[in-house]
């Protein structure tokens, strides 16, 4: 049985770390997995990622930004996500459509429905089966990033705290709107606890 799981949340919420830990665990159990991320995931999409996240691109218009994320998403779906789902794999994707709805739709002020409708052209209405929201106060997330010298700082990390607070509120709004696929995970706890909660959510969805 295929399953499409997206990992969402603000900066420093730990979702990428948890994704890798979960993948190792599920692989041991014999599941066929594909790990991927947005923006990026394929060579063309990674090239688009470099343009979007380049710190030098301070002049990027919000709609340009939204269109580039959608372009990268389209290529990622065609080359990687759709084929994997067809093969019955579990796809674990670090960010997907909801990041566009939260960051471009709400934090950049383009509107959730506007960004959603624009994305339909790219996604042909593909949604994740399950979206794990790693919920964390932005103050704590940004502190974690500052402490982690290995993590590259990108153009969106450099936004003000109020921007990241909007992103968090937006994800809560999306969790209410798409309650059938959202599971909210309190990401302020230890890695072990957060991983266990995410694991349980995936296993419950697989058992349905
Ligand atoms: P990345 O380095 O992958 O950060 P993170 O570890 O936080 O996932 O950078 C991705 C950035 O792009 C992140 O700031 C969120 C942003 N983003 C959007 O604004 N819209 C989108 O559609 C996606 C997929 C990401």
120-154: pLDDT as tens digits:
999 999 999 999 999 999 999 999 988 887 777 78
Question: Is there a contact between 93 and 15 (Cβ–Cβ < 8 Å)?
Answer: no
Residues whose beta carbon lies within 6 Å of some atom of ligand 1: 11, 16, 38-39, 53, 69, 94-95, 99-100, 103-104, 154, 156
Q: Is residue 131 within 8 Å of residue 99, measured between CB atoms?
A: no
145 half-sphere exposure, CB direction, 13 A CA radius: 19
Q: What is the pLDDT of residues 8-60, one digit of tens each?
A: 999 999 999 999 999 999 999 999 999 999 999 999 999 999 999 999 999 99
Phi, psi angle pair for 28, to nearest 5°: -60, -30
Q: What is the pLDDT of residues 46-102, one digit of tens each?
A: 999 999 999 999 999 999 999 999 999 999 999 999 999 999 999 999 999 999 999
Task: Answer yes or no: are the C-beta atoms of 51 and 57 closer than 8 Å.
Answer: yes
Q: Best mutation site among 156, 159, 168 for ligand 1, i.e. most ligand atoms within 8 A of its Cβ?
A: 156
Tokens of 61: 């218009």
> Contact at 8 Å (CB) between 130 and 3?
yes
Please answer whether residues 49 and 39 qualify as being in contact, where contact means their C-beta atoms are separated by less than 8 angstroms.
yes
- C-alpha of residue 39 to centroid of ligand 1, in Å: 7
């Amino acid at each position: 049985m295929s399953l499409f799981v997206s990992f969402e949340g603000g900066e420093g919420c730990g979702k990428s770390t948890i994704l890798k830990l979960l993948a190792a665990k599920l692989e041991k159990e014999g599941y066929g997995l594909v790990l991927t991320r947005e923006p990026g995931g394929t060579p063309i999409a990674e090239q688009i990622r470099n343009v979007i996240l380049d710190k030098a691109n301070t002049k990027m218009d919000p709609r340009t930004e939204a269109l580039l994320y959608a372009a990268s998403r389209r290529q990622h779906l065609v080359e990687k996500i759709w084929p994997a789902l067809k093969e019955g794999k579990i796809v674990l994707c670090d960010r997907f459509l909801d990041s566009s709805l939260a960051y471009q739709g709400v934090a950049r002020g383009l509107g959730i429905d506007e960004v959603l409708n624009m994305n339909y052209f790219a996604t042909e209405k593909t949604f994740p089966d399950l979206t794990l929201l790693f919920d964390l106060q932005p103050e704590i997330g940004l502190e974690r990033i500052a402490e982690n010298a290995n993590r590259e700082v990108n153009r969106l990390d450099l936004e003000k705290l109020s921007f990241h607070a909007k992103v968090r509120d937006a994800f809560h709004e999306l969790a209410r709107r798409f309650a059938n696929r959202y599971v909210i995970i309190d990401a302020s706890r230890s890695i072990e606890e957060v991983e266990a909660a995410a694991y349980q959510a995936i296993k419950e969805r697989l058992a349905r």
